Amino acid sequence: MKRKSLTVKNKVHKKILSHLNNKEFKKIYKKFEEFLNFRKINTFVVSLSGGSDSLALAYFSKCFQILNNKKVYYVHIDHKIRKNSSKEARDLKFLMNKSNIKCEILSWKKITETRITQENARIARYSLLERFCKKKRINALLLGHHRDDLYENFFIRMLRGSGIRGLTSFSSQDTFINKSLKGYRPFLNITKKTLLKVTNKVFDYYIDDPSNSSDQFLRIRVRNLLRSLQKEGFDKKKFDLTYCNLHSANETLKYYSDQNISKNTNYFSKNLKDTVVINQKFFNQPDEIVLRSLSNLISKTNSKYYYPRGKSLIKKISEIRDNSFKKTTLGGCIIERVNNTTLIYPENIK
């Protein structure tokens, strides 16, 4: 690197790190660094939406990159749903470049038949991020989710009739995306208001997605509901206590479902390693334990990070428990009865 370029780079880095003189920002960064060091995360990808929360994540990631001399990638997905999305992507890339943050833009090439929904956009975003991480051989993806996202997710899941696992699914800062990629949410204990303060101070810019004010989306309606509840005295501290109790109950159920899998399942020989063998005792456990155990096995077998829908699973469990059961499909897997055992294997197994 030329001397002039190196001098400019050093000046930019000095300016970036100068914001850590703010006591609140320094405290956040210290916890962020501890989060990464505890998990031995050195190289990672930052999912950069351009919103205030992801830009705050980009800032602290850049501080970590400078102070620890680590390789960090920053990726923005241009979903092309809004007319201005490509311009926003270019503006974001220009802004990040000013802070010596190399932002890579990936575009969603939407199939004509694909419905434009927030859920489909989310699936496409994760798919592109997964491919990027695989290409770079990176197994850590950082996400900018915060405390407010946790509240919203709880109420969304509640409206959809989720059980304890669904209601508390967002509470974990570590989440599996696939066998080789793990997602991390280092800011789940930080509010959006705090992250917005960081972004405004450091960048004085963020993308304000118009869909965030459109009540045609359930998440936005829930967000507006929470604002109304706060005006009526919604106590977040009491909610946090309730959420903590639910999380504890979820961990207990997880323990017993893991025990059920450990004691009552096995695998075929090496050439059929993807085939799970389940004995009769597996289905003699309480309904919730069987449901969790089976959904875990299906998720692991089909290599997808999400679980099959609860209603479908409950119906299938009822079928499998019947003595006349022979064969069915669920979540990309085949479930088959052979004598007194039940087999689970991918639909595409050779």
Same domain, 122 and 220: yes
Predicted structure pTM score: 0.81
Question: Would you say residue 330 lies in a domain?
Answer: yes
Residue 247 domain-assigned (yes or no): no
Which of 217, 234, 251 delimits the end of a domain? 234
Categorize the per-residue pLDDT at 314 as very low, low, confident or very high, splitting at 50, 70 and 90: confident
CA gap 134, 125 in Å, rounded:
14
Higher pLDDT, 270 or 194: 194
What pLDDT does 344 receive?
A: 92
Q: pLDDT (tens digit, 9 = 90+) per residue, 127-154?
A: 999 999 999 999 999 999 999 999 999 9
Does 246 fall in a domain? no
Same structural domain for residues 104 and 62? yes
Same domain membership, residue 229 and residue 102: yes
- pLDDT score at 207: 87
C-alpha distances out from residue 326 to 300, 301, 317, Å: 22, 19, 13
> Do residues 307 and 295 make contact, with C-beta atoms less than 8 angstroms apart?
yes
- Do 74 and 209 share a domain, yes or no? yes
Provide the domain count of the chain: 2
> Contact 317/294 with Cβ under 8 angstroms?
yes
Q: Has residue 1 got a pLDDT over 70? A: no
96 closest CA partner among 48, 128, 140, 133: 48
Same domain, 12 and 97: yes
One domain for residues 192 and 269: no
Tell me, yes or no, whether 250 lies in a domain: no
Query: Would you say residue 152 lies in a domain?
Result: yes
- Across the chain, which distance is largest between two alpha carbons, in Å? 78
Q: Is 330 found in the same domain as 276?
A: yes
Residue 84: count other Cβ atoms within 10 Å of its Cβ: 10
Domain of residue 75, CATH code: 3.40.50.620
As a whole number of angstroms, the distance between CA 293 and CA 262 comes to 10
CA pair distance 195, 56, nearest whole angstrom: 6
Instruction: Look at 304 and 243; give whichever has higher pLDDT.
Output: 243
**7-32 confidence digits (pLDDT tens):** 778 899 999 999 999 999 999 999 99
Examine the domain organization and report whether 274 and 212 are in the same domain: no
The dihedrals phi and psi of 335, each to the nearest 5 degrees, come to -115, 125
Eight-class DSSP state of 143: -
pLDDT single digits (tens) 198-225: 999 999 988 877 666 667 778 889 988 8
Whether 154 and 270 map to the same domain: the answer is: no
Instruction: Give the structural domain span for 48.
Output: 3-234
Residues 215 and 300 in one domain: no
155 within 8 A of 198, measured Cβ to Cβ: no
Percentage, residues of the chain above pLDDT 90 = 56
pLDDT digits (tens, 9 = 90+) for 227-271: 888 888 888 888 889 989 999 999 999 999 999 999 999 987 544
DSSP letter string, 97-141: HHTT--EEEEE----TTS---HHHHHHHHHHHHHHHHHHHT--EE
Judge whether 157 lies within some domain.
yes
Q: Six-digit token pair at 235?
A: 């106590």
Residues 212 and 328 in one domain: no
In a domain, residue 241? The reply is no
| Tokens (6 digits) for 222 | 């829930």
R_g of the chain computed on alpha carbons: 23
Domain boundary among 212, 234, 256: 234
CA-to-CA distance for 192 and 200, rounded, in angstroms? 12
Q: Evaluate if residue 96 carries a pLDDT over 60.
A: yes
8 Å CB contact between 32 and 64: yes
Residues 179 and 271 in one domain: no
State how beta strands 72-78 and 44-47 pair. Answer: parallel
